[in-house]
Amino acid sequence: MRVSDVLPLAYDNLVCRLRKAGCVFAEDEAKLLLSAARSPAELDAMAQRRVAGEPLEYIVGWVDFCGLKVSIDPGVFVPRQRSRMLVRESARRALPGAVILDLCCGSGALGLATAVAVGMVELHASDISADAVQCAKRNLDPVGGHVYQGDLFRALPASLRGRVNALIANVPYVPTEAISLMPREARGYEPRTTLDGGRDGLEVLRRVVAEATSWLAPAGHLLMEVHQSQIQHATAAFRSGGLAAETINSVELDTTIIAGTNPG
């Protein structure tokens, strides 16, 4: 029996605690915590963690992403809802049977959602973090995904070279000096390596673009998320890397992605 079944006043009390702590979506968060807690004591412990600023996804152990229940472990980057745009665009460019690569995969949420949207695909993912790789394996095993640990492309089998049809690389792109301006649940709990994109936020992006064409199949696509202010320099990096670049904006999700195509 869940706490919500035996404590009819728990919801109102919890909403009040969360709202006082500055949680914008206190009502929705209270419902999730109530559904996850197995006892009043566990609910109180969960609420204390959230009030302290810990990401809700770490506390309940999952996130709803593209309609999928994706497992999330502490220390693993929490996928943002705006990144649904990356899934939408990668799935639009991939056909059943496509080779999909989720680079800097974190939990594997983007690769998983793309695989589910497209259907039968060959899915690969990699991350430098052992915690992320462990989490991604749990999420991607049901769709036959292969997960590797290492720095960007270094972890990948050579057999993938020239075969990738859609490469999703949701790399860190926050400038170093802007990390302190991020919400406390991000800067205080998520690994800095998943947030910090260097001086201008594009250092990791440039590294990916520099090697992408050797991994992409002819007419394969590289998709990356950037901030609006980074479009000019990010597009220039794509073109320097030999990719035809297209900028795609979503007002609905408040995000911008660069889609690069390998000409050959």
CATH number of the structural domain spanning residue 119: 3.40.50.150
Do 112 and 172 share a domain, yes or no?
Answer: yes
Residue where the block lists tokens 């320097």: 240
> Residue 74 half-sphere exposure, CB side, CA atoms within 13 Å?
7
Residue 99's SS3 state is strand
Overall average pLDDT of the 45-59 stretch: 93
pLDDT at 8: 52
Do 136 and 41 share a domain, yes or no?
Answer: no
Q: Is 82 exposed, middle or buried (0-12, 13-18, 19+ CB in 10 A)?
A: middle
Percent of the chain with pLDDT strictly greater than 70: 97
| Final residue of a structural domain among 32, 52, 72 | 52
CA dihedral 209, 210, 211, 213 (to 10 degrees): 70
Helices (H), 94-199: 109-118, 130-140, 184-187
Judge whether 75 lies within some domain: no
Do 168 and 216 share a domain, yes or no?
Answer: yes
pLDDT in tens, 206-226: 999 999 999 999 999 999 999
SS3 content of the chain, % helix, strand, coil (to 5): 50, 20, 30
Do 44 and 87 share a domain, yes or no?
Answer: no
Judge whether 96 lies within some domain: yes
pLDDT in tens, 61-114: 999 999 999 999 999 999 999 999 999 999 999 999 999 999 999 999 999 999
pLDDT at 110: 98
Do 118 and 242 share a domain, yes or no?
Answer: yes
pLDDT at 1: 45
Residue 224's SS3 state is strand
For the cut 90, the answer to whether the pLDDT of residue 5 exceeds it is no
Count: domains in the chain: 2
Taking every pair of C-alpha atoms in the chain, what is the biggest distance, in angstroms? 63
How far apart, in whole angstroms, are the C-alpha atoms of residue 239 and residue 262? 10
pLDDT in tens, 176-211: 999 999 988 899 999 999 999 999 999 999 999 999
Report pTM: 0.91
pLDDT in tens, 24-43: 889 999 999 988 888 888 99
Nearest to 17 by CA among 2, 7, 27: 27
- Domain interval for residue 136: 81-261
pLDDT in tens, 115-140: 999 998 999 999 999 999 999 999 99
How far apart, in whole angstroms, are the C-alpha atoms of residue 198 and residue 176? 5
Residue where the block lists tokens 């889609």: 259
For the cut 90, the answer to whether the pLDDT of residue 261 exceeds it is yes
